[in-house]
Amino acid sequence: MGPLKDIRVIEMAGLGAGPLCGMMLADMGAEVLLIDKPGRPSPEALIHVDKIDPLNRSKRRVCLNLKTASHVTLLKEIIGLSDVLIESYRPGVMERLGLGPDACLTSNPRLVYARLTGWGQTGPMSDKAGHDPNYVAATGALYHAGSMGAPPVTPPTLLGDASASALLVAGISAALVSAEKTGHGQVLDAAIAECTNYLTTYAKSFYQAGQLTDERGGAWLDGAAPWNATYVTSDGGYMVVAAIESKFYEALLSALDLDEHPLFVNAGQWDQEAWPEQHAMLAARFAANSRAHWSDVFLNADACVSPALTYGESHLHPQFAHREAHWVEEGQVFPAPAPRFSLTPFLATEKTENNDIKQYFTEIGISEALISAWQSEP
């Protein structure tokens, strides 16, 4: 099992970053119990689901009606026996249910209470709705993505949700270590916007150093340099060129038979006046052959040049295939858990041994009276 074996996590049903965070914890071996709502899932909750929901893999699930007193009492009991609670409601919702941090930490002082929202628990926008592009836009990352002269565009990678999920997993893990040492849990206030902003630290250091400017596409880092750009191939594919260091730049020119061309010989790699003409020549060179051709050309060339794969192709990448970096279920392909642990490996395809929720409640110490009250009420 994974390194978080025997860590009990309660995940309050939500969208996006919350379920992704729970998935990551489950992938690391935690026992994740999803507290779902009665009735049919909303269209928004199912929009990413075809045959299976990868975000709910390896989780147990129970429906609780939090408008019913016995169900709230049961949930309080479960929280008291757990290590982590993840909730992604708007600020104040859990308090109105009587399940806020103060109440939960009073009954379970070691609890790690993880709160996930778009903008954070406080501030003028704490109650304001938002989606991934809104949060990414606030950080500057969206502005600096895209081509010169065109509106900025965010790729459909859900950068904000993924950032918040990954950092919240790190935060929960750190808080668990602290709770183990001190006996005291704590509240984590994770804002998607702030987590995304934190992950722009490296990019913003380039900005502060003048390597990125407010002129999108005007610097070497965002496409102006011919040796750090993406090119179209004859079959409509794309090749990504990131030959930044001089040795990679030289390998790029050699593979393209341009190492003796006057346009490149007479201008250094950092001669910005030559970049537009050089860019045009590289574009013409790549457009003359297919993506497969150029992939073969650069396969053994240490030039940092590679094909841009689609989501449907990425699992076929030879490195991913060799390391089994994807898993398949019912014909659908999803990324495997990362990073890898040498002593406690865990597979995304592993299932919980016991899906009988009543038996699970008994095993963790829920009283028979609470279980009976839960079963008797809708």
pLDDT tens for each residue of 351-375: 665 578 989 999 999 999 998 888 8
User: 72: closest CA among 95, 52, 54?
Assistant: 95
Q: Is the domain of 78 the same as that of 167?
A: yes
Kindly report the CATH number assigned to the domain that includes residue 304: 3.30.1540.10
Distance between the two ends of the chain, CA-based, in angstroms? 35
pLDDT at residue 94 is higher than 90: yes
Q: Is 131 a catalytic residue?
A: yes
| Tens digit of each residue's pLDDT (9 = 90 or more) over 111-170 | 999 999 999 999 999 999 999 999 999 999 999 988 888 898 887 878 899 999 999 999
Q: What is the pLDDT of residue 7?
A: 97
If DSSP codes are grouped into helix, strand and coil, which group holds residue 172?
helix
Percent of the chain at pLDDT > 90 equals 79
Q: Is the domain of 192 the same as that of 301?
A: no
Residue 35 phi/psi, 5-degree rounding, is -90, 100
Residue 155 near residue 83, CB atoms below 8 Å: no
Residue 360 lies in a domain: yes
Q: In DSSP terms, which residues pair with 9 in a beta bridge? A: 32, 84
Q: Is the domain of 188 the same as that of 232?
A: no
- Region 69-91: mean pLDDT is 95
Q: What is the pLDDT of residue 105?
A: 97
Q: What is the pLDDT of residue 12?
A: 97
Angle between helices 159-182 and 132-139 (to 10 degrees): 80
Q: What is the pLDDT of residue 356?
A: 86
Q: Is the domain of 95 the same as that of 232?
A: no
Q: What is the pLDDT of residue 348?
A: 64
Q: What is the pLDDT of residue 28?
A: 94
Q: Is the domain of 109 the same as that of 238?
A: no
Q: What is the pLDDT of residue 349?
A: 59
Residue 47 lies in a domain: yes
Q: In DSSP terms, which residues pair with 87 in a beta bridge? A: 115
Residue 130 lies in a domain: yes
Three-class secondary structure assignment of 221-287? HHCCCCCEEEEECCCCCEEEEECCCHHHHHHHHHHCCCCCCHHHHCCCCCCHHHHHHHHHHHHHHHH
Q: Is the domain of 84 the same as that of 122?
A: yes
Q: At a CB cut-off of 8 Å and minimum separation 6, what does 213 contact?
A: 207, 219
Q: What is the pLDDT of residue 321?
A: 95
> Using alpha carbons only, what angle is made at residue 132 by residues 126 and 136, rounded to the nearest 5 degrees?
85
DSSP 8-state class, residue 119: S
- Choose between 378 and 372: higher pLDDT: 372
**Structural domain span for residue 70:** 8-199+343-376
pLDDT at residue 183 is higher than 80: yes
pLDDT at residue 106 is higher than 70: yes
How many domains does the chain divide into? 2
Per-chain mean pLDDT for the chain: 93
Q: Quote the CA–CA distance of 31 and 9 in Å, as a whole number.
A: 6
On the question of a cis peptide bond just before residue 109, with omega within 30 degrees of 0, the verdict is: no
Q: Which of 131, 279, 293, 317 is catalytic?
A: 131
Q: What is the pLDDT of residue 46?
A: 80
Return the biggest CA–CA distance within the chain. 85
User: 14: closest CA among 103, 102, 88, 80?
Assistant: 88
Q: Is the domain of 12 the same as that of 105?
A: yes
Residue 241 lies in a domain: yes
Residue 21 lies in a domain: yes
Q: Is the domain of 193 the same as that of 290?
A: no
Q: Quote the CA–CA distance of 7 and 28 in Å, as a whole number.
A: 10
Sheet holding 112-117, edge to edge: 59-63, 31-36, 8-12, 84-87, 112-117, 186-191
Residue 326 lies in a domain: no
Q: Give me Rg for the CA atoms of the chain.
A: 25
Percent of the chain at pLDDT > 70 equals 98
Q: What is the pLDDT of residue 261?
A: 95
Q: Is 315 a catalytic residue?
A: no
Q: What is the pLDDT of residue 351?
A: 61
- Region 230-242: mean pLDDT is 97
Reported as a pLDDT band with limits 50, 70 and 90, residue 224 is very high
Q: At a CB cut-off of 8 Å and minimum separation 6, what does 42 contact?
A: none
Q: Which of 27, 83, 132, 161 is catalytic?
A: 161
Q: Is the domain of 186 the same as that of 248?
A: no
Residue 18 near residue 86, CB atoms below 8 Å: yes
Q: Quote the CA–CA distance of 69 and 15 in Å, as a whole number.
A: 25
Query: Domain ends where: 282, 308, 334?
Result: 308
Q: Is the domain of 184 the same as that of 226?
A: no
How many residues are there in the chain? Answer: 378
Looking at this protein, which amino acid is placed at residue 115? R
- Region 159-185: mean pLDDT is 97
| Tens digit of each residue's pLDDT (9 = 90 or more) over 300-325 | 999 999 999 999 999 999 999 999 99
Q: Is the domain of 183 the same as that of 271?
A: no
Residue 35 near residue 19, CB atoms below 8 Å: no
Q: What is the pLDDT of residue 142?
A: 92
Strand 112-117 versus strand 84-87 pairing type: parallel
Q: Is the domain of 132 the same as that of 44?
A: yes
User: 104: closest CA among 64, 126, 72?
Assistant: 72
Alpha-carbon distances, residue 11 vs 34, 55, 156, 295, 314 (angstroms): 5, 12, 25, 44, 30
Q: What is the pLDDT of residue 346?
A: 74
